[in-house]
A = this chain, B = another copy of it.
Amino acid sequence: MITDRLIEKIIDMQNPTCVGLDTLFDYLPDDMKAGVTNFDQVAERVFEFNKKLIDTLYGIVPSVKVQIAYYEMYGAAGMKAYEETLKYAAEKDLVVIADAKRNDIGSTAACYAKTFLGETSVNGIAQKAFPADYVTVNGYLGSDGILPFVEECEKADKGIFVLVKTSNPSGAEVQNVNLENGVPMYEYMGGLVEKWGESTVGKYGYSAVGAVVGATHPTEAARLREVLPHTFFLIPGYGAQGGNAQMLKSCFKANGLGGVVNNSRGILCAYKKQGGTYYDAAKAAAEAMQKDLSDVIGAMGK
């Protein structure tokens, strides 16, 4: 079961880190950017950058999150690099999260679920489009928009993370408005997530339907951790967005489990601050993050 597998890797490595491969072309070292003028060349260099990073990090971190916006902006060629990155990370046995925040209804949601979690049939021949272990989704459309993903999760042993409380400041405009029963929207959405996950709870007590809960909101995170006991958290906002280990500690239960913490620019662009090669700097940053998190969270699952 996918969340069990992610948790076992976290326990093995004592590291609840997810490296965000938000590989904007501008993040690449100058020598890798030189001479590039079109999307095909961008795609080739971006994949080369990602491949070396994955080769460097796969024994240290359990998972990667690949933000699709940074590939789609380079057209169909960029999407080829996206596919290659997902597949290469899977080859290295990383748990792969497609950060696509998909949302639609009925048959369209089912298409998205097949695209990222299952298979597309072409005249009866099943093929994979952008294969990942998890995909992020947005729950504004209600159950019609989520259950097609849950069905695919059950069928293919995959997972989703639903946006609940995002890391950005203005998320509160929608997510922190109080409903007439006094519950804020994020908690109400969290309750839906807990319910959507009921059928897929694994041996560690977490379902395949996780929640995105920003590292930047410790109070909300503590409340969500309390009311969503079976929901695993994907935690963005560490580092560049201002979240730190102390702030996100409330996403974790007493046994040190409960979530995985994303860091994108802090690892991808570490070389810009620390010098050296991008991959050596990324490795040092990932190791420092592991220490930072484990110092605060404590032993994980032990």
Contact = CB atoms under 8 A, between A and B. Distances in A.
Contacts of A129: 39, 72-75, 78
B142 A140 contact: no
B173 A73 contact: no
Interface stretch (A1-9, A117-125, A198-206, A284-292): A117-125
Interface string A64-81: 000101101111111110
Given A67-B108, A104-B69, A178-B180, A123 B76 contact: no
Give how many copies assemble into the complex.
2
A244 interface: no
Nearest to A75: B129
Interface string A173-186: 11101111010010
A253 interface: no
A105 B106 CA distance: 26
Interface string A21-45: 0101100000001001111011000
Contacts of A82: 76
A172 B142 contact: yes
A173 B141 CA distance: 8
A269 interface: no
Given A173-B192, A174-B189, A180-B179, A33 B69 contact: no
A130 interface: yes
A82 to B, nearest CB: 8
B127 A38 contact: yes
Contacts of A130: 72, 75
Interface stretch (A161-169, A217-225, A273-281): A161-169
A166 B127 contact: no
Given A75-B83, A168-B105, A168-B144, A174 B37 contact: no
Given A33-B123, A67-B108, A171 B188 contact: no
A73 B168 CA distance: 30
A115 interface: yes
A154 to B, nearest CB: 19
Contact of A115 (B72, B142, B166, B175): B72
B144 A170 contact: yes
6 contacts: A72-B111, A75-B120, A140-B175, A141-B174, A143-B173, A144-B171
Interface of A: 22, 24-25, 33, 36-39, 41-42, 67, 69-70, 72-80, 82-83, 101-106, 108-109, 111-112, 114-115, 120, 122-123, 125, 127-130, 138-145, 163, 166-175, 177-180, 182, 185, 188-189, 192
